[in-house]
Each structure stands twice: as C-alpha cells, then as structure tokens.
Structure 1
Amino acid sequence: MKRFFLISVFTIICITCYAQNVILSGVIKDKRGEVLPGAGIFVSGYKIATVANNNGAYTLGLKPGNYDILFQIIGYKTVAKNILVEDKAIKLDVELEEDAMQLDEVTIKPDPNRAGYIRMFTDFFIGTTPNAAQCKIINPNVLIIDYSKDDSKLTVKTNQFLIVENKALGYRLKYQINLFEWDNKTNIIYYEGYPYYEDLKGSKGQMKRWVAKREIAYYGSSNHFLTSLYNGKSKEEGFIINKLIRQADKTRPSDSLINAKIKKFRLTASATAGKIQLNPADTDSLNYWHKQKNRSKQIAILNQKEILPDTLVKTFNESIKSINFTDVLYVIYTKEKEDPIYANRIGMSVSRPLTMPDYQISLVNLLVAPIYFYQNGGTYNPRSMLFEGYWSWEKIADSVPLDYLPQKKSKERL
C-alpha cells in the first residue's frame, strides 16, 4: 500500500511568550542608499506586519522569541532576516536589491503541461480537504514550475508572494515559496517558505462561521499537539501517544529472487504465446510473484502502552523544548473523528485496532534528532520530522497563524 507523506514546513517558527513587547526598528534602503517608503515588513507565520514610512523607517513590537522577518517591495528582491528577540530593543537596517525579473516583463515559455502541474501543486500544497475546496490561488502566474522526467520530481518556487484566498477559514494567505517538491517515486512532499496571514473582510455571520472553522482546524493539528506537549497537557487536550514499531518482513522473498522468478515466467509465457495454450500453473506462478513484489517490505506492530509526555519531552532552554524517540510516534486525537472524505481515500488512513473508534490518527517519523519546538507549536528545524496519516492530509487550507489563540478551551469541546 502506498503511503502519502508530508513535511508541513514553516521556515520560521517562534515562541509566543506572555511578556512585554520588544521594539524592532530600522530603515529600509536600496543599494544606492535611497530610502524605500512603502516597503512591507512581514513576520513569517503570523498576522503581524507593518509598512515603512516616508523616511523608509519601520517599527514592530514583538514578544521574546525567534522570528523570520520579510522585507518586500515591488521591483526589489525579498530579503528575509532571522532575529532572536530577548529583552532589549533591536536595530535592524535592511538594504534591498533591484529584481530584474520583476522590473522587466517576464515571458513564460508555453508549456502544454503547465495547467496540469498547477492542478497537482494545488492538491499537494493547498490540499484536498473540504476547506481546500473553498481556496483559490489568485496569482498562479508567479509560480515557477519545473518537472524533471529523469528523477520524477515536480518543483515549484516563487520570487514574490503567492496569494491564496481561503474563504473557508477567512484568511488571505501570502506565501513566499522557497521550495516545493513532490517526488513521484516516493510520494513525499516537502515545502518551505514564508507565510503571512491576513483576515478577510466578511459579514457578522461569515466571521462567526470562520471563528468556528478556525477552531476545528487548530484543534487536533500538529501545532496543537506540540503546543500541548510544551505545556505538559497533551493528554488533557485529547492526545494519546503510542509507538509504532516497523520491522523487516522476513517472510517476504528477496527482490533478487522475485525479479528472477518474474523474468522466468514471463519468458515462458512469451515462448508459448500463440503456439499452444498457456500452462495455467505458469500463469498462476507469474501472478503469485507479482503479488510478492507488491508486498510491503515491512510489518508494523502497534505498542499500545501509552507514552507519557514527561518521559518524552525534555527542556532545552527557557524557550525551547525537545523530543527524541525511536520507532514512530502513533498520535491519536480523541476529541474529533476522521472526516469521511479522508477515511475513504485509498492509501491515506493509518491502520488501527478493531476496537479503536475512528479517531484522527497521525504518525510522526523522526528524521533529524531531536525535534526542537516552541510554545506555539512551531519547530526549529522543519526537516526534523515527517508526517503520515491525518496531518499529511491537512495542508495549507487547514492552517492557522502561529499566533492563533482559540476562543474555547479544548476540554469544553467534548
């Protein structure tokens, strides 16, 4: 059975602390030293932004934490600066370079496959959930798309914000994509970049529906899980953690034997075709060895002994915690059931014991140990983990800003 993987990535991730704002300020200029009034300053992953004044100066108030700040204006290359905010004001002047690609008229070579690639990108980046059906890419022309037939990889990037209007959650998402990659051979998706969220304007009825849908999107998400782990309340918030142990299936024949048998029976079938009736035994043997080839090389064993958060989570410093583990984390969210659309998608659902209700289940694979994470659920190294299951299904269409705070407590939703 094919598995679908997702590393859901935000290049910046920071911590929201209950502390007084620290002032970040500076001046934005070009290479000639001329100030750039009207330049946009965005905090990646948040709804925090400002605009440089007529003197090119800007000011932002930020809580202590680690941030990526984007500086952008039309006609210039976007600059991203990573900063660590502690307890002292920060002065950060930025110099922007003219972008010839934006200043000159860009000619996109006709590609008969471009529309198909955009549809693939939309499904893999925005998603296929009910919320994704209410999302629209406003400016697909900024997508720089390449498909390599040699290694079967689709890559996408942008040199300016990709704008996605999410009418399900009431957000206008601006996403500077550094890299999106889909590997057709492994079915692994990876993307990283700088997202910025804006609230859409709507009627009172729309805003009420957006509030409710944002809470549904947040609860049970990977950000909710890591936030609850950070606060030592994962079980109270509805998460149960088990281990999934994957081992080599020793009953599966080796690839060399399987390929040799398939070659043998193919040659037999080819030699006898059109001369005499094929031997049913040979046909059955060929089918048998094809089935062996399609068998998974691993078997999965679920250890239902609950992993306690205090044994999993370690404190790295006053703002960062970490988790390190062997095998695969099997994360069960007990306060929401799987969406029927997800449950009916072939190859997406994670196997479960027959006695377990249809709770949302996600798998966390450790790629780079340990996983460092912040109080808001953001991770220090996005490449440190790989998701399977429900979290691999929910993508940009079901994301909320890192500074999102639900209005209801999770225990009230039972």
Structure 2
Amino acid sequence: MLFTGQAAQAQGKLTGVVRDSATNEPLSFASVFLANTTLGVTTTEQGTFVFPKVPAGTYDIVGSYVGYRLAKQNITVGKESQEVNLKLASNGNQLGEVVVKPAPNKPEEYQKFSRLFLGGSTFSAQCRISNPDDVQVLYDDSTKELTAQTKGFLQIDNEALGYRLKYYGLQFSFSDNDHSVFYYGQPVFEELKPKDERQRKLWAANRLTAYKGSFMHFLRSVYNDRLKAEGFYTQQIRVFENPKYLRAEEQRKALVAGKPDGAYTAAEQDSLDQWDGLAPMLATLNQQPLPIDSIRRVSPNGKRTFLRFNGELQVAYFGEAPDPLYKRPMSPLGYPKPPFPTGPRQVSRLKLQGREAQFQANGTLLNPLDVFNGEYWGFEKIGEFLPVDYVPGSLPPAAGPARP
C-alpha cells in the first residue's frame, strides 16, 4: 500500500516556548499543535513544549490559550532539531468595555451550515458538532452568502473514523449564486478511544475506505509516480466558449434593445427561453490518459514538486465503489474506455487556480487554495477528513474505558 513507509521517513525534533506577546511571560498549559495532524501537546509550567518526532514536511504550528488569540507560524521540518517561539496576543476586554454577544443562530441557517460543512456522505451522517453555540452563522440577503465563523474552535466527533476534530479559527462561506463552498482554519485531530476491539477494527477499516481514492491518496500517488498502480487514471478536460451561446447573446441583446417594453411575441419568447438554456462554456474529454510529466513538475534540485496541467483534469479512481449517498451523475463527460478497468469508480475534477500548485509527499498542498476540487471530491467533506500523518493500514489506539 502506498505511503506505508511514512513512519520510517525522515523525522525531526521540534521544541519551543509559548509566551505572552506583551509581557513576554511564558504561558503554562497552553495547547500547541501541528494543523491537520494528530500531533498536539500541552506546554509545561515554564511554557515549553516538545514534539520528539515529526515527519519531514511543511506545517502550520498553532498555539492556543484561553483569553488569547491564536498564534500561527509556518515551519518546515527536516532531520535537524529546531526551536519555535510562539507569542500569543491577549484578546481580553479593556476596563469598562461592553461585550455584545452575537444573536442566536437561526435554526434553518445553522442546519444548512452543518449540512454543507459536515457533508452528505455515509460517514458524514456519523459526525456530530458538540459545541453548536460556539459558531456564529449569518446569511446576507444582498450577497446571497451564508457565512460561519468561530472565535475558539468548533468540535466535531466523527464516530465513523474515531476522531475528535477541533477546528480552530473556522472561516466558512457558501454562495447561493454558484453553490460554491469554502472553508478554512487550523484543525487538529484527537484519537477517540474505541469501546472494544470490534470498534477499533471498524474504525481502521473506515479510515482506509475514506483514504482510498481521496485527494490525499491521489497527491501521494502523483508524488511517487504510482497513479496507475494505485488505481487512478487522469484525463485532460478542454474547456472552451460555446459558439451557440455567444451568437445567442448577440441576438438577445438586439431583441431586448428593440423591444424595451418587453412585449415579445410567442416566437420571440420561445427563442429567449431556448437561449437561457445554453451553457456559456463547453467541455470535452480526451480519452487518452495523461503521462505523469503532463501533470507533475519536479524542480531541478528535486526538492519541490508541483501539480501542473493544461485546462482541467478528470481523475477516475477504480479501487472502490462510490458512496451510495452520492446521487449526482458520475462524470457527465463520460468514463475512460477500454483498455481502462471496468467496474465501480469514483470520478472527480480538478482545476488549478494558477499555473501550478506545490504539494508534499504526505499528500497536502502548500496552499490549499491553489486547487479547486469538483464532482466526487467536492462531495467528500468532514466525514472523510483524515489527518496528514495518517498511514494506510495503521490501527487506532487499543480499546479503553468508555469516553466521558
């Protein structure tokens, strides 16, 4: 299985201290974690912390303390030990300051946020937000945008995968205009304790299911040049302007300008209705799979790896059937034809926001906003969310006492 050697890859020791940014005094028992991982510690009475073994890579290290704003620092971990100093700024109230509490969330707006954030998959149905009052959800009628944010963290218990997820500094938005979903923050994973060995094995199996065919799995496969071996097939999508739409727009403008009162004949109204049904852009799929050099660029020194391709990318995964709750058509552009494998598949779509996007061996983008995921990967959300230090085939912790 790809990436099973992560535990044996280069690791580095990370030490540091958390301080008050104004007084420079150390902060005892502050939380420090590496975002998107299971790696988290608490500072000592002297404000110090140690991560003895961190897999090589680039991370956001985050400090959190009650009454203080989050502190975040981007670091790159190699074989050598390094020290990090985190300074947290107090968000305490000034004397006499009036604190205005936000209005309670409207139930229908909170439910919409919860559904869009957690997702609609089988695993998402087993996720529960345990502190709903700590998130503020608002809908703007003028922009048609639903937003949500937290000052602290949003806590999600994923009973399908056995993780407790604390999502710090959540920024979420959904647009009614184009149905795009965006969320960002600094999450950290905590391992839940299974109640028995059966649940432990179930969590391990579910984690592997969530991993197989995921965007993380895809990026690791690209990095290691193992796309076909891992069951992925990539094809180029060419997107171009619809000439019929362009002609229709010219005809529409001429018709509307000639009849400012809107008194259209039945034939003219029928034409307008037909023009409304035209898509401004069209897409075609190249049936030939793209070679690795058409989607991946490695820097001359071999230290940096990038996703780079023309147009958009269709990614088909043949190693696992799609979630039964995925109701959309699986790839409206069609499937890869023989000699590609047959049988169940998951089909996703990728679009670069720039010319290329740098990514790491652990299957993470250096900038998560560099790539837009659509179709099946757009369907998978918090229910399938795994930490970047996940290793396929690894087991959750042994069963222990029931959780409080």
* TM-score bin (small chain): 0.7 to 0.9
2:321 corresponds to 1:337: yes
User: What amino acid maps onto 1:23 in structure 2?
Assistant: K
Cα distance in structure 2, aligned partners of 1:319 and 1:364: 24
Distance 1:143 1:237, change over 3 A: same
Answer yes or no: is the 8 Å Cα contact 1:232–1:310 preserved in 2: no
Which residue does the alignment assign to 1:365? Answer: 351
Distance 1:23 1:79, change over 3 A: same
SS at 1:54's partner residue?
coil
Distance 1:241 1:139, change over 3 A: same
Which residue does the alignment assign to 1:8? Answer: none
For residues 188-227 of structure 1, the C-alpha deviation after alignment (integer angstroms, 9 at most, x for no partner) is 2222211111111222111111111110100000110010
Cα distance in structure 2, aligned partners of 1:124 and 1:266: 42
Which residue does the alignment assign to 1:34? Answer: 25
Distance 1:27 1:110, change over 3 A: closer
Matches within 5 A, 1:227-246: 227-246=220-239
Which residue does the alignment assign to 1:254? Answer: 248
Q: Which protein, 1 or 2, shows the higher relative CO under an 8 Å CA cutoff with sep ≥ 6? A: 1
Distance 1:97 1:237, change over 3 A: same
Deviation of 1:383 (Å): 1.6
Cα distance in structure 2, aligned partners of 1:105 and 1:209: 50
Which residue does the alignment assign to 1:278? Answer: none
Answer yes or no: is the 8 Å Cα contact 1:350–1:389 preserved in 2: no
Cα distance in structure 2, aligned partners of 1:174 and 1:64: 23
Q: 2:209 aligns with which of 216, 236, 249?
A: 216
Cα distance in structure 2, aligned partners of 1:255 and 1:283: 19
Which residue does the alignment assign to 2:176? Answer: 184
Cα distance in structure 1, aligned partners of 2:77 and 2:44: 23
Cα distance in structure 2, aligned partners of 1:289 and 1:223: 45
For residues 242-301 of structure 1, the C-alpha deviation after alignment (integer angstroms, 9 at most, x for no partner) is 1111121112333353366479598336xxxxxxxxxxxx44642442232132112211
Distance 1:375 1:20, change over 3 A: closer
Unaligned residue ranges in structure 1 (runs of 5+): 1-14, 270-281, 409-414
Q: TM-score scaled to structure 1, two decimals?
A: 0.84
Which residue does the alignment assign to 2:297? Answer: 314
Cα distance in structure 1, aligned partners of 2:37 and 2:157: 16
Q: TM-score scaled to structure 2, two decimals?
A: 0.86
Q: 2:38 aligns with which of 21, 24, 47?
A: 47
For residues 386-408 of structure 1, the C-alpha deviation after alignment (integer angstroms, 9 at most, x for no partner) is 11110000011111110111118
2:47 corresponds to 1:56: yes
Which residue does the alignment assign to 1:401? Answer: 387
User: What amino acid maps onto 1:223 in structure 2?
Assistant: M
Matches within 5 A, 1:155-170: 155-170=147-162
Cα distance in structure 1, aligned partners of 2:371 and 2:27: 39
Distance 1:60 1:179, change over 3 A: same
Matches within 5 A, 1:124-135: 124-135=116-127
Deviation of 1:175 (Å): 0.8
Deviation of 1:107 (Å): 4.6
Cα distance in structure 1, aligned partners of 2:73 and 2:94: 21
Distance 1:393 1:348, change over 3 A: farther
Q: 1:152 aligns with which of 144, 147, 156?
A: 144
Which residue does the alignment assign to 2:276? Answer: 293
Answer yes or no: is the 8 Å Cα contact 2:161–2:204 preserved in 1: yes
For residues 356-406 of structure 1, the C-alpha deviation after alignment (integer angstroms, 9 at most, x for no partner) is 755211110111121111011100121211111100000111111101111
User: What amino acid maps onto 2:173 in structure 1?
Assistant: E
Answer yes or no: is the 8 Å Cα contact 1:242–1:330 preserved in 2: yes
User: What amino acid maps onto 1:398 in structure 2?
Assistant: E
Distance 1:311 1:207, change over 3 A: same
2:248 corresponds to 1:268: no
Distance 1:190 1:18, change over 3 A: same
SS at 1:340's partner residue?
coil
Does 148-157 or 327-336 show the bigger shift? 148-157
Distance 1:243 1:311, change over 3 A: closer
Deviation of 1:117 (Å): 2.1
For residues 26-68 of structure 1, the C-alpha deviation after alignment (integer angstroms, 9 at most, x for no partner) is 2222232332211111110100111111221111122332111
Distance 1:259 1:227, change over 3 A: same
SS at 2:361's partner residue?
coil
SS at 2:244's partner residue?
coil
Answer yes or no: is the 8 Å Cα contact 1:349–1:389 preserved in 2: yes
Distance 1:260 1:102, change over 3 A: farther
Which residue does the alignment assign to 1:12? Answer: none
Count how many residue pairs are aligned between Structure 1 and Structure 2. 379
Cα distance in structure 2, aligned partners of 1:162 and 1:300: 39
Cα distance in structure 2, aligned partners of 1:404 and 1:102: 43
Instruction: Name the Cα RMSD after superposition.
Output: 2.8
Unaligned residue ranges in structure 2 (runs of 5+): 395-404
Matches within 5 A, 1:64-83: 64-83=56-75
Does 323-332 or 27-36 show the bigger shift? 27-36
Answer yes or no: is the 8 Å Cα contact 2:285–2:333 preserved in 1: no
Answer yes or no: is the 8 Å Cα contact 2:113–2:137 preserved in 1: no
Distance 1:200 1:350, change over 3 A: farther
Which residue does the alignment assign to 1:379? Answer: 365
Answer yes or no: is the 8 Å Cα contact 2:244–2:278 preserved in 1: no
